Amino acid sequence: MERNVDLRSDTVTLQSDEMKEAMMRAEVGDEYYGDDPAVIALQELAAKMLGKESALFTASGTMGNLVSILTQTKRREMMIMEYDAHSFRCEVGNFVVAGGVVPKLVKGNRGVMEPADIEAAIPATGWAFSELTMLSVENTHNGAGGTCVSPEHMAAYRKIADKHGLKIHVDGARIFNAAVAQGVDAKELAKDADSLSFCLSKGLACPFGGLVVGSKELTTEARKYQQMVGGGFRQIGYMAAAGIYALNNMIDRLAEDHENAKVLARGLQDLGMDVDMETVQTNMVSFAVPEKLIGAADFAKKMNAIDGIKMNGPKGNRIRLVTHYGIVKSDIEYCLDAARKVVRAKN
């Protein structure tokens, strides 16, 4: 049997036969006119699952983040976010370009900002200063290796936000990973947020899409910004049907991805890789390749030359691997066995 051990990202997931069948059977309409029944059903389900009044189907988590920020800020206002946040690093400065919003970066502990550090970052008021109006939180935190923000931290952020009149947006691309890893309902991680965006196209294994949840007023305004940056989706109910299937069937199984990530991390650590096991909380393994063991670029190149294995190249000497639907324990063992052979051949 041909192997496909693609550890580049959980965005590479392929759809199950059951999800494809749900897509084929979808009843669809024109989303622009608000009469696509699958989109309506998905939005209602997402809002209920996250404990919010309303939801908006978006093309991606990036679109969800952007329309959420544009809806709740004005030009020249400021937003606090973690210094390595995905919205800052990997979304091409969209909120700066489209919204004129100024980022204020706070260094977190493994991606999680401490309330005292947020308080310390709040700027002075006056004619010369941007007005702080938003706090952005990423959960799980991609750059830190898939780490989780707890309900307790969210409650502390809410107190700060209420004290200073701030909105809270959560980039919850992998919010269900965070919920499963912490053994809490996703509602607990969303309740203190004014808006939350999440992806369907990562661990939930859909081919497309994400959602924004919040108040009805928020999603109505966000739909206008969605029109600005993307327009109507037409018969997008085929993709919405995949989302409905995912929310009903693909969340609990995320625990399997988390366990596979831990097995992978321990195996790499045993091999001599530098792994901070405290960051291996969900489906990501970030590790440094010691030069004395093998060069990081050489390691990635040789691993990619092995049948079925795919991984991204290093940033410096660090490599990130991501487990997901379609990766099973035997694939992890295959990858670790290949890594051992690569390192032994070098030494």
d(CA 324, CA 330): 13
Mean pLDDT of the chain: 97
Q: Is the pLDDT of residue 2 over 90?
A: no
Q: Is the pLDDT of residue 316 over 60?
A: yes
Question: What's the mean pLDDT in 169-191?
Answer: 98
For 155-160, the CB contacts below 8 A with 24+ separation are 155/192, 156/115, 157/113, 157/115, 157/118, 157/192, 158/192, 159/115, 160/115, 160/118, 160/119, 160/135
pTM: 0.96
User: pLDDT tens digits for 265-302?
Assistant: 999 999 999 999 999 999 999 999 999 999 999 999 99
Walk me through the domains of the chain, giving residue ranges and CATH numbers: 16-249 (3.40.640.10), 253-346 (3.90.1150.10)
User: pLDDT tens digits for 138-153?
Assistant: 999 999 999 999 999 9
pLDDT for 101: 98
Residue whose entry in the numeric block shows the structure tokens 């690569």: 342
pLDDT for 3: 86
pLDDT band at 59 (very low <50, low <70, confident <90, very high): very high
Question: What's the mean pLDDT in 13-19?
Answer: 97
Q: Is the pLDDT of residue 1 over 60?
A: no
pLDDT for 347: 67
pLDDT for 231: 86
